[in-house]
Structure 1
Amino acid sequence: MPVLNESRRAGDFVLSEANGNLSRDSIVIDTGVHLPGTVLGKVTATGKHVALAPAATDGSQNAAAVLRAHADATVGDVNAVGYTRLAEVRADLLVWPVGISDEDKTEALQVLAGAFILAR
């Protein structure tokens, strides 16, 4: 019997969130293909979200949201939903940039905790 692998599903990393849509905001993804649970930064000049970039200086070096569902912005901006406050997430299911250091992860998690997005 063949082994089937299920892909990541929207919100599969969320342990709890506030009632209704209080934890979520509509966001715009600027570039790239992102899985649910991707930690995002927000470019200050445009207000658009991109994958967290710890070495950047445009605002995207600061964690601002966690992406709820798959987003493909390879051909242009795409609307998406991000957790921006009041949520508990599974730390082991968050998606980080390749090569991110443990120190940068810790800093990003502290910034998210400031918005009451807690990794467990």
Structure 2
Amino acid sequence: MTTIKESIHPGEFLLSEGAGSISREAINVAAGEALPAGQVLGLVSASGEFAPYSPAAEDGSEVAVAILFAGLASSDIVRRGRAVVRLAEVSEAHLTGLDLDGEKALGKQFIIVR
């Protein structure tokens, strides 16, 4: 029997968020590989584009600042997406790329990891 694993649904990582759409923003995501919903993101200082959070980077993406709301396909150009950037509680088990420093940085955005 073949086992099929369902991917994370858009926003599935959210436990609670601010009223209306105060927790989310439309963002530009740097060109690159496919990203799942729940990907922790950093902000590349030079371009102002979001990229996967990478603690070893030195371009701004070493600081976690947001979480991708819905997955994005791979692309050679900048992609448009939505991210949770403030005032939310999220499920740690549904996030991709999170470490302790990332969790602390998200807390400064009032994104609380449970």
* TM-score, shorter chain, exceeding 0.5: yes
Match of 2:10 in 1: 10
1:83 partner amino acid: V
> Partners of 2:39 and 2:5 in 1: how far apart?
20
CA distance in 1, matches of 2:24, 2:82: 6
Q: Does 1:53 align with 2:47?
A: no
5+ long unaligned stretches in structure 1: 98-104
How has the CA–CA distance of structure 1 residues 55 and 5 changed in structure 2, closer, same or farther, with 3 Å as cutoff?
Answer: closer
Structure 2 gap ranges (5+): none
Contact 1:29-1:73 within 8 A present in 2 as well:
no
Identity %: 35
Change (3 A) 1:53 1:3: closer
The alpha-carbon distance between structure 1 residues 6 and 73, as it changes in their structure 2 partners (threshold 3 A), is closer
Q: Which residue of structure 2 aligns with residue 101 of structure 1? A: none
Q: How many residues align?
A: 113
Post-superposition offset of 1:3: 4.7
Q: Find out whether 1:76 has 2:77 as its counterpart.
A: yes
SS in 2 for 1:66: strand
**What TM-score, normalized to structure 2?**
0.92
SS at match of 1:108: helix
Query: 1:36–1:69: 8 Å Cα contact kept in structure 2?
Result: yes
Instruction: Provide closer, same or farther for how the CA distance between residues 5 and 73 of structure 1 changes in structure 2, counting only shifts above 3 A.
Output: closer
Q: Which runs of 4+ in 1 moved over 4 A?
A: 1-4
d(CA) in 2 for partners of 1:94 and 1:3? 22
Corresponding residue of 1:100: none
User: Matched residues in 1 for 2:85 and 2:66: separation?
Assistant: 5
2:105: which partner in 1? 111
